[in-house]
Amino acid sequence: MKKSTMAMMMAASFFGAAGCSAENTVAQKVETEPGKVLIAYYSWSGNTRFAAEQIQKLTGGTLFEIKPAKAYPSDYSARVDQAKQECRDEFKPELATKVDDFSKYDVIFVGTPNWWSTMAPPVRSFLAGYDFSGKTVIPFVTHGGGGMAHCERDMRRVCPKAAFGKGGAFSGSGIRNAEDVLSQWVDEGVTIRK
């Protein structure tokens, strides 16, 4: 066999295998109605909250804030140290609230800040606390330069029975000027039947 043919076969094999991973699959656009959309988010600085509120306006879905039962320390250094350790340990803090009738939602937008390249621990608790079988999760992340990082990958690991729509990563410092970008991203992933 010629070297060039062998190289092409190896490249095709490599790219074929790379295309089979869950994170590389092309997400299908989902169709639903406003009453079946949940926008669940955790926000520390307000950036993820702003994104969630914009998604709620665009979809008509139900907004749900993920809150830990025990708030993070008010001292910045203590808060950072605690959150960093929790992320490393994949800690799942107890949450203060639960979603009423989670079963009625088909599409769940899940918002988190990117903390040390993963989701915030309260979001991990939220995802671990419900049965996502037959549901579509659409992750959205606000960040200070790290993009999506491992957030979506880690969400998939916590709720492997969920289907995943196209995730979105948005700069926290520019989120309040990103309404058009958010709108386009939502429109690419979801059709809302009125």
pTM of structure: 0.85
Predicted confidence (pLDDT) at residue 11 exceeds the cutoff of 60:
no
C-alpha 159/C-alpha 14 separation (Å) is: 27
C-alpha 32/C-alpha 104 separation (Å) is: 12
What pLDDT was estimated at residue 155? 98
What pLDDT was estimated at residue 76? 86
Residue-wise pLDDT tens digits, 45-81: 999 999 999 999 999 999 999 999 999 988 889 988 9
Residue-wise pLDDT tens digits, 136-160: 999 999 999 999 999 999 999 999 9
Q: What angle (nearest 5°) sits at the alpha carbon of residue 184, between those of residues 181 and 27?
A: 115
